Amino acid sequence: MGFEPIRTLISRTVVMRQENIDTDQIIPARFLTTTSREGLGKAAFYDWRYDENGAPKNSSALNGVDAASHKILVAGANFGCGSSREHAPWALYDFGFRAVISSDIADIFKSNALKNGLLPVEVDQKTHRELLSAPGAEVCVDLESQTVRFGDDWQAVFEVEPFARRCLLDGVDPLGHLLNQIDAIKAFESARP
Amino acid sequence: MTAKSLFDKLWERHVVVDETSDSPAVLFIDLHLIHEVTSPQAFSVLNERGLKVRRPDLTIGTLDHSTPTLPADENGELPYATAEAKAQVETLIANCETHGVELFGMGDPRRGIVHVIGPELGLTQPGKTIVCGDSHTSTHGAFGALAFGIGTTEVGHVLAMQCVLQRKPKSMRVVFEGATPAGVTAKDMALAVIAEIGADGGQGYAVEFAGPAVEALSMEGRMTLCNMSIEAGARFGMVAPDGTTFAWLEGRDRAPSGEAWQAALEDWRTLPTEDGAAFDKEVAIDASALAPMITYGVSPDAAAPVDAVAPAPTTEEARRAADYMRFEGDRPFTENKVDRVFIGSCTNSRLSDLRLAAGVMRGRKVRDGVIALVVPGSEAVRRAAEEEGLDKIFLEAGAEWREPGCSMCIAMNGDAGAPGDLVVSTSNRNFIGRQGKGVRTVLASPATAAASAIEGRIADPRPFLEETDGV
């Protein structure tokens, strides 16, 4: 558990242009036999990063990148499609990412990412194209004002589910929030057939 | 009063606390299905915080994803792919014991793929909310249930409080007009919808499938259709309950019986969408124009009729997919040689799927050099298939008949293709490497998969079905 709160993130981007990057690419299923959520960064995009002998591939945007200064992943449309595995945001977070920007992020991935300190940011097509064509750009993602800023004066707004935003900004714990609903849940249960 | 949809009714019945601009709704869950892969970290959170499973009576566990499909060796040892896979299974067994959760473990006659056993035990019922840490939970929507996949954090929420925090999604209705031609199955309908609206076309929506061709489907067909909703990006897929639903459920172990059954029927009949109910989006598909479908790319929306030619790629994405799949542009799909065939998964591993495949394979031989794997969805499906002699048909044709599980759909139990293999698969995802590193997956119906095993190439199943008794 436990992740860094997000308020303002200023970092460089890693760009993966491909559309429909599914959760099997983000973390192949053979890494899902773990019973822990720790240490999955090594498995992130494993088959994109390493060849069959386990040697790093030069073609991968993630190899040789300094994770500490590249905390923002910019990806093609429909990022995170596929399975419900929360191992996908766990792996990206552990690798060092704190935000994913796309024009369109899959529902379950988005929901999982928000619970794990990885901010999913859906921007308009024009901003998306701009970011895709500028790998390594320094980008500011501001959760408070829900804006993305980069370049001389490029600015775009993004939507975040308000409760998830509060959790990320103020450290509200969703399970704690549910535990506080105990009276309503008990009442519902006793009225239930 | 405003006319309500099935989805509106299912939603309203389960709202514990209304959603506000600040907070999502608190939604009560009637059935929580858990399996070994997405539950261990949720139980860890429970243990760390000193919480118990609130409603073990509404929680059911099964083992399916990382379990072997080959039998135990002479020492009774199951051939797990790795020690870690075995440890994960043992973790769920221990967690279920500690928390008093009913588990259908190895050797239990009720064990099987989570989305196969819920319905077949009668646990899946109209009007219920059903969740599981698995994106194909939408399968259960076939019964007129609100069923959706959740992440592991949410699995923890449901274990602790039997509720999820969820905002009401938008609604979409997909209407299949007309009747499907012979040889066209629910799988082909599913692939046609995904091709039509795109792999993200259902994102943010709860989808109701309706129309004459959906009403004509068996329950198993409806499950196949709802199962694939997530491949169009929709977490929720559903079909209104009707006589087909009730007949399928009646008499099942965990379905209501006696007076409770009559009361349930009365209630379930109030669920279907009312005339004039509004949807945020409507899609119409002409079922009579459909053909058996296959996928030719690395996303499920790259689907086309099996008798078509491979489209020449025009975009960067399509070129990337074409490079991986190595289908020659403007040449018939049916020219492509097949290395393996997989018949199974939560999409297509039920008795009717196996009957369909066996109908094609009966008295024929799997082409030399092709490995065909048939994996029943559950112990119950296996028993029923063996009682009918379907196992013998598969074995005589040269296919393998395995133990139930997810197997090559997710390929995390050791069942996988070899690099470069072209696999015709009845599963749900053709993602790069999904069925093994470098494996090229072609999604298809059980009939198309079986026909491809016989031909040794991607094959149109219709000639095979004409010779037997059709679908």
Q: Please state the domain extents for chain B.
A: 6-166, 170-244+266-288, 294-465
In the structure encoding, which two tokens stand for residue A46, read together? 């494993």
Look up the ipTM and state it: 0.97
In the structure encoding, which two tokens stand for residue B89, read together? 């299974």
In the structure encoding, which two tokens stand for residue B438, read together? 């470098």
Alpha carbon of A47: minimum distance to chain B alpha carbons (Å): 8
CA–centroid distance for A120 within its chain: 5
B196, B199, B186, B192: which is closest to B226 by C-alpha? B186
Yes or no: domain B170-244+266-288 corresponds to CATH 3.40.50.920: no
Return the number of other C-beta atoms located less than 10 Å from residue B19's C-beta: 16
Task: Map tokens 């939560």 to a residue.
Answer: B346
Q: Phi and psi (nearest 5°) for B17?
A: -130, 130
Alpha carbon of A155: minimum distance to chain B alpha carbons (Å): 25
- B197: amino acid identity, one letter: I
Q: Can you tell me the mean pLDDT for A153-177? A: 94
For an interface test with B, the pick among A17, A33, A172 (most B C-beta atoms closer than 10 Å) comes out as: A33
Fold of the CATH domain B6-166: Aconitase; domain 3 (3.30.499)
Task: Map tokens 């064990």 to a residue.
Answer: B111
Mean pLDDT, chain A, whole residue set: 95
Assess contact for B159 and B46: CB atoms under 8 A. yes
Write the pLDDT tens digit of every residue in B33-82.
Answer: 999 999 999 999 999 999 999 999 999 999 999 999 999 999 999 999 99
Write the pLDDT tens digit of every residue in B333-379.
Answer: 999 999 999 999 999 999 999 999 999 999 999 999 999 999 999 99
Nearest to A33 among B88, B151, B320 (CB): B88
Alpha carbon of B316: minimum distance to chain A alpha carbons (Å): 8
d(CA B271, CA A69): 53
Question: Quick one: pLDDT band at residue A171, thresholds 50, 70, 90?
Answer: confident
Q: Please state the domain extents for chain A.
A: 11-139
Q: Is the pLDDT assigned to residue B3 strictly greater than 80?
A: yes
DSSP annotation string for B291-304: --EEE-SSSTT-EE
Q: Is the pLDDT assigned to residue A76 strictly greater than 60?
A: yes
- Chain B residue numbers with beta carbons less than 8 Å from the beta carbon of A189 are 28, 162
Q: 70-109 in A: which are within 8 Å (CB) of B?
A: 76-78, 81-86, 104, 106-108
What whole-number percentage of chain B has pLDDT above 70? 99
A157 touches chain B (CB under 8 A): no
Predicted pLDDT at B471: 46
Q: Can you tell me the mean pLDDT for A6-35? A: 96
Q: 424-453 in B: which are within 8 Å (CB) of A?
A: 429, 431-434, 437
Nearest to A174 among B37, B88, B157 (CB): B157
- Chain A residue numbers with beta carbons less than 8 Å from the beta carbon of B169 are 107
Question: Quick one: pLDDT band at residue A6, thresholds 50, 70, 90?
Answer: confident
Q: 257-296 in B: which are within 8 Å (CB) of A?
A: none
Residues near B240 by beta carbon (within 8 Å), at least 6 away in sequence = B6, B144, B208, B210, B271, B272, B273
Alpha carbon of B152: minimum distance to chain A alpha carbons (Å): 6
Nearest to A107 among B156, B203, B316 (CB): B203
For an interface test with A, the pick among B95, B203, B228, B441 (most A C-beta atoms closer than 10 Å) comes out as: B203
Yes or no: domain B294-465 corresponds to CATH 3.30.499.10: yes
d(CA A157, CA A51): 39
Alpha carbon of A50: minimum distance to chain B alpha carbons (Å): 12
Predicted pLDDT at A3: 79
What whole-number percentage of chain A has pLDDT above 90? 91
Three-state DSSP class for residue B222: helix
d(CA B173, CA B237): 10
Predicted pLDDT at B470: 42
B15-21: long-range contacts, CB 8 A cutoff, minimum separation 24: B16/A181, B16/A184, B16/A185, B16/A188, B16/B163, B17/A181, B17/A184, B19/B167, B19/B168, B21/A162
Predicted pLDDT at B467: 58
Assess contact for A96 and A70: CB atoms under 8 A. yes
Q: Is there a common fold for B6-166 and B170-244+266-288?
A: no
A26-31: long-range contacts, CB 8 A cutoff, minimum separation 24: A26/A80, A26/A88, A26/A91, A26/A92, A27/A85, A27/A87, A27/A88, A27/A91, A28/B433, A29/B410, A29/B411, A29/B412, A29/B434, A30/B411, A30/B412, A31/A87, A31/A91
Mean pLDDT, chain B, whole residue set: 97
Write the pLDDT tens digit of every residue in B386-411.
Answer: 999 999 999 999 999 999 999 999 99
- Chain B residue numbers with beta carbons less than 8 Å from the beta carbon of A104 are 200, 203
Residues near B83 by beta carbon (within 8 Å), at least 6 away in sequence = none
Q: Can you tell me the mean pLDDT for B429-435? A: 97
Assess contact for B370 and B338: CB atoms under 8 A. yes
Three-state DSSP class for residue B154: helix
- B268: amino acid identity, one letter: W
Assess contact for B377 and B404: CB atoms under 8 A. yes
Predicted pLDDT at A116: 95
CATH class of A11-139: alpha beta
Alpha carbon of A168: minimum distance to chain B alpha carbons (Å): 14
Question: A22–B22: do the CB atoms touch at under 8 Å?
Answer: no
Question: Quick one: pLDDT band at residue B468, thresholds 50, 70, 90?
Answer: low
